[in-house]
Structure 1
């Protein structure tokens, strides 16, 4: 089983770790794009181009793929349709949607933490109108949080989390993490908001959907390999990734993240 994950940076780690835990025999191709990140500030056409480039680089490196996973809200919004035109029906393409629907089932009030661009987007507004129209929803633009997570600088992370927490009403009991980078600092977010706040992320749901779409491919009896591409080049897993549990888990169980 060969699965590509396409994102600008290490925000893909939580989804990659969920896939690795569910199918430790799968070969994962982490196609990052450090030369052009962050994608959120780019035009839709540019995001589409970068997502396609990342998926094609993984295809070439793997010699074919069984699935393309896009663990990035920005790339899913802008690039999913084009990726599906290119790869489906032979290769399923799975995108990421903020977990607003399951969070709304808690009855509210809820907050949606997202990047500044996603917070302003019609995409997020439509999700709220569709799945949470009858409850109180506070959009929180988390300025700088994704970049702080990418840097793995504890002080920058703490400052960005504190800023977003200050914009979150005190009565909120569920928070949707609308950027996969935020999954990596879930403990810090809960600590800033209080232990009674439930976090809703998409990583495990996306991993489960990817495996459903791939189907029941046989296990090969060996640990899967984790391979990394940096803007198409063979690379090592970034040092910042290893500061997070999801990144460290990819180094365990005989599946070192090494260059191709």
Structure 2
């Protein structure tokens, strides 16, 4: 079995590592275009074009499913990707976990990029799935870029700034950008003073990984032999995980030998 993932940069590591934990024997294809990161400020047409280029590069490896491991690309590119790839390759998008967070009760904060915060898309999610909970949108200035570069001081500064914007008493923090899941431990620590006991963090990686396996017709098997290979495509060219990826547990887990088309 082979699962492909696309994102502008390192945001795909969280979902990829979730697939790896569910199926250690699955080959992974990680397709990104880091030179165009971030995608958020770009036009919808530009985002769709870049996501499609990443998807086409991954499709050459005949994956059993493709995960769009990016909230922004899921908003703007899913119809285009599905029109080109399905039904041959099932395409799974990423949606912030607002629904389960609101269902758990209590005030909710949604940490997202400035481009996503306050957007019609996110406001619709809150309206449709907020379940009457008090939901605060928190813009995380510079956090995705800091995670992408592995800039430790910048990560700490961005997390601290976002935590200051998070109201006290928040019980759940939704991670509305896949990059943020790579620094979940820091986010949890930063939000602890606002909500003792520590606020619950809700990412999307685990749910997206499980859905990709279902769409691929496979079941979780965490005890499978760890034979899965990892292929890294950067702007369609085979390469290796960048040094910044190895700063995160997810990147270290995924470092491995490349597969072949």
TM-score by length of 1: 0.93
Matched, 1:27 2:27: yes
CA distance in 2, matches of 1:227, 1:48: 23
Aligned to 2:38: 38
CA distance in 1, matches of 2:217, 2:260: 28
Aligned to 2:248: 244
Aligned to 2:238: 234
CA distance in 2, matches of 1:199, 1:257: 32
Matches for 1:153-168 after TM superposition, within 5 Å:
153-168=151-166
1:212 pairs, out of 206, 214, 221, with 214
Matched, 1:197 2:199: yes
CA distance in 1, matches of 2:228, 2:73: 26
Aligned to 1:91: 89
Q: Number of paired residues? A: 255
- Do 1:72 and 1:180's aligned partners in 2 also have CA atoms closer than 8 Å? yes
Aligned to 1:58: 58
Aligned to 1:141: 139
Question: How far has the Cα of 1:93 moved from its partner?
Answer: 0.1
CA distance in 1, matches of 2:260, 2:120: 39
1:223 pairs, out of 223, 227, 233, with 227
Matched, 1:9 2:9: yes
Question: How far has the Cα of 1:14 moved from its partner?
Answer: 0.7
Aligned to 1:79: 77
CA distance in 2, matches of 1:103, 1:68: 25
Deviations 1:188-222 (A, max 9, x none): 111111152100000000000000000038x9967
- Do 1:250 and 1:257's aligned partners in 2 also have CA atoms closer than 8 Å? no
Structure 1 stretches of 5 or more lacking a match?
A: none
Question: How far has the Cα of 1:120 moved from its partner?
Answer: 2.4
Alpha-carbon RMSD across the aligned residues, in angstroms, is 1.9
Structure 2 stretches of 5 or more lacking a match?
A: none
Moved over 2 A (4+): 219-222, 255-260
Going from structure 1 to structure 2, the CA distance change for 1:257 and 1:108 (only over 3 Å counts) comes to farther
Matches for 1:95-134 after TM superposition, within 5 Å:
95-134=93-132
CA distance in 1, matches of 2:87, 2:259: 30
